Amino acid sequence: QPTDPSLAVGPDHVFVVFNTGFAIYDKDGNTLIGQTSPNPAIFPSSGCCDLTVSYDPVAVSAGNPTPGRWVVSFLGGGAQVAVSDGPDPVTSGWNVYNINTINDYQKLSVWSDGYYVSDQSNGNRMYAMERQAMIDGESAGNVSIQGFSLPNFNNQGFASVQALNISDDDYPAPGHATIVFFQDDAYAGQADDSIKFWDLDVDFDTPGNSTISAPQEVLVTPFTSIFDGTAFDNLSQPNGGADIDALQGIIMNQAQYKKFPTYESAIFNFVIDIDPGGGEQAAIRWYEFRRNSPTDPWAMEQEGTFSDPDGRHFWHASMIMDTQGNIGMGFSVLGNAATGNGTANEFVSSYYTGRFASDPNGTMTIAPQLIACLLYTSPSPRDGLLSR
Average pLDDT, the chain: 92
**CA dist., res. 258 & res. 186, Å (int):** 32
pLDDT for 279: 85
pLDDT for 2: 61
pLDDT for 239: 75
pLDDT for 237: 87
Report pLDDT digits (tens) over 44-73: 999 999 999 999 999 999 899 999 999 999
In the DSSP assignment, the letter for residue 249 is: T
Query: Quick one: average pLDDT of 122-150?
Result: 96
Report pLDDT digits (tens) over 170-225: 999 999 999 999 999 999 999 999 999 999 999 999 999 999 999 999 999 999 99
Sheet holding 282-291, edge to edge: 165-166, 256-259, 264-273, 282-291, 299-306
Confidence of residue 1 (pLDDT cuts 50, 70, 90): low
pLDDT for 343: 58
User: Is the pLDDT reported for residue 379 higher than 80?
Assistant: no
Confidence of residue 374 (pLDDT cuts 50, 70, 90): low
Angle at 149 between CA 305 and CA 315, to 5 degrees: 20
User: Is the pLDDT reported for residue 378 higher than 70?
Assistant: no
How many other C-beta atoms lie within 10 A of the C-beta of residue 182?
A: 25
Lowest mean pLDDT among 112-126, 186-200, 229-243, 292-306: 229-243
Q: Are 38 and 74 contacting, i.e. CB atoms less than 8 angstroms apart?
A: yes
Q: What is the secondary structure of 109-154 as a DSSP string?
A: EE-SSEEEEE--SSS--EEEEEHHHHHTT--GGGS-EEEE--TT--
